[in-house]
Amino acid sequence: MIKVLTVDDSRTMRDMLRLALAGGGFTVIQAVDGEHGLEVLNESGADVIITDINMPKLDGFGFIERVREDAAYRATPILVLTTESDPAKKVRAREAGATGWIVKPFHPEKLLDVIRKVAA
């Protein structure tokens, strides 16, 4: 079963992601910010990561960069899920190592399709 780590400081967004992903047959683990995301990733591992950009402690850009520093997660798909739509931020996320960019609010079925595609 595919394990998805979601990293978002919004409880509502984490709940929405958990419902959509679990409903799609994925195992879901969650973190409240980038620092916590690194801890959870080290403890539990993940096949796909979904992260927000704007978070306290360690933002999404820093989180992605830190994940990519670990050889075990260099090829793990990382999807950015954010309210941001600034092209410069998309470029920055891609340079940090993001695989894809999804703007909130997300459509659950489309998100599941993207995860299935990147996890294959």
Given a cut of 90, whether residue 21 has pLDDT beyond it is yes
User: For 28-63, how does the pLDDT look when each residue is reduced to its tens digit (9 = 90+)?
Assistant: 999 999 999 999 999 999 999 999 999 999 999 999
Domains belonging to the chain, first-starting first, are: 3-119 (3.40.50.2300)
pLDDT at 120: 83
CA 30 to CA 15: how far, in whole Å?
A: 9
Q: What is the pTM of this model?
A: 0.96
User: For 60-116, how does the pLDDT look when each residue is reduced to its tens digit (9 = 90+)?
Assistant: 999 999 999 999 999 999 999 999 889 999 999 999 999 999 999 999 999 999 999
pLDDT at 47: 97
pLDDT at 111: 95
